[in-house]
């Protein structure tokens, strides 16, 4: 069944409102993508106006920005260390905006929404000792 983002069909009292019209395609939404750690997989979704949204289902690489040099580098993601969105996302290996991940370069923080943009962008926050 489709997710609909429209006004509630119930009044504050709990009574049902009389419907003036049916659901519209423009009111459809979707469930969260929950990008996981794994071999890169992307799904294309059609959006309003014919636009295409890339949903990253799984990711094993990230575009990491080194703030000192100002350069990006594609780095392999080893594991997920911390996730401020939900503590259970750590054991499920779900990548969201703000997730802190371990890479060979050090710890990085995700700065974009992979489930909406199709890539993982991150910034280096802790350089590894080696």
pLDDT in tens, 2-44: 799 999 999 999 999 998 999 888 888 899 999 999 999 999 9
pLDDT in tens, 55-76: 999 999 999 999 999 999 999 9
Residue 100 pLDDT greater than 70, yes or no: yes
What is the average pLDDT across 95-120? 96
Q: What is the pTM of this model?
A: 0.85
Provide the percentage of residues in the chain whose pLDDT is more than 90. Answer: 77
Query: Hey, what long-range contacts does 18-23 have (CB within 8 A, 24 or more apart)?
Result: none
Complete domains list, the chain, with CATH? 33-126 (3.10.290.70)
Provide the percentage of residues in the chain whose pLDDT is more than 70. Answer: 98
């Amino acid at each position: 069944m489709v997710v609909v983002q429209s006004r509630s069909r119930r009044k504050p009292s709990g009574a049902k409102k009389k419907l003036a019209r049916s659901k519209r395609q423009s009111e459809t939404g979707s469930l969260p993508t929950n990008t996981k750690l794994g071999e890169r997989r992307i799904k294309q979704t059609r959006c309003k106006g014919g636009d295409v949204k890339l949903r990253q289902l799984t990711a094993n690489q990230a575009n990491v920005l080194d703030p000192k040099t100002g350069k990006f580098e594609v780095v392999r993601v080893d594991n997920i260390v911390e996730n401020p969105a939900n503590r259970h996302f750590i054991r499920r290996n779900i990548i969201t905006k703000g997730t802190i991940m371990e890479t060979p370069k050090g710890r990085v923080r995700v700065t974009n929404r992979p489930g909406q943009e199709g890539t993982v962008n991150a910034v280096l926050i802790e350089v590894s000792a080696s």
